[in-house]
Structure 1
């Protein structure tokens, strides 16, 4: 399993972060939102009761125009691929997360069709619906998402078998 800690970080800091969260398990893996009511999030719901190596999760899209959610299965390789996607975003590249798998995908384009960043959520294998959400995330959003990923992996991955 790939270590998602950045250089210079140690696990003792993670224990402090977990204590600061009040001991509650981390839920928001991805949370992109703007002040116009647009948001895309990936929420960890918990361990999958029928699948010991995975987590139940959901993708939630909210805009003033359209809102929806779709179930998502997360497992270690998907979490690791999110870490790789964050590396590419930090380098200024657009990303496609979960594009080559069954189920939904998330594309993050740093300069979308409206000359601003956007998240594109697609469910080509199920409903065949795609939603494009323009967003203007804060400057530190990649670092924030690395922290979210680290918390999710440190809490949930040790509980998974396989």
Structure 2
């Protein structure tokens, strides 16, 4: 039975939203003749996901996948963000990069998603970021781990 999707990241408000929706575990596979072993490893022990961006000006989606290490890095990124630091999550990796920059003047942040490999597009969205968001973000991460307890091979 397939699990319902879970929004690992959900930043929204003022008509804008950035969501990273996790759809489920990707089946493990062996590399085919047309793909390298590293391409096949990206599908091994991974979660299929999709970034969803919606504003009055732009709307789009971008498929991605996450490894157990990516989830651990998200935990560290959340800790840094909660401590008042800007974050860069997955920068330099194979999946889309996510940046969150805090606005010092109010409870808002700028969220930037950079697709460096497929569309070569970068989108920046401003959304509210209130203290209550952090409890929800940690709860969402825990729910992903409990729903799909991945392990590294």
Into which bin does the TM-score normalised by the smaller protein fall? Answer: 0.7 to 0.9
Number of the residue aligned with 2:24: 46
For the 8 Å contact 1:119–1:132, the answer to whether it is kept is yes
Paired residue secondary structure (1:125) = coil
Name structure 1 gaps, 5 residues minimum.
Answer: 1-23
Number of the residue aligned with 1:58: 50
Paired residue secondary structure (1:102) = coil
How far the C-alpha of 1:161 sits from its partner, in A, is 6.2
79-88 or 126-135, larger mean C-alpha shift: 126-135
Paired residue secondary structure (1:144) = helix
CA distance in 2, matches of 1:115, 1:142: 12
CA distance in 2, matches of 1:115, 1:29: 21
Name structure 2 gaps, 5 residues minimum.
Answer: 30-42
For the 8 Å contact 1:26–1:152, the answer to whether it is kept is no
For the 8 Å contact 1:103–1:126, the answer to whether it is kept is no
Count the aligned residue pairs. 136
Larger strand percent: 2
List aligned pairs for 1:40-119, cutoff 5 A.
40-49=18-27, 50=29, 51-111=43-103, 116-119=108-111
Number of the residue aligned with 1:21: none
CA distance in 2, matches of 1:52, 1:66: 33
Number of the residue aligned with 2:6: 27
Paired residue secondary structure (1:117) = strand
Paired residue secondary structure (1:92) = coil
Give the structure-1-normalised TM-score: 0.77
For the 8 Å contact 2:107–2:130, the answer to whether it is kept is no
CA distance in 1, matches of 2:118, 2:147: 30
Runs of 4+ with deviation above 6 angstroms: none
Give the structure-2-normalised TM-score: 0.81
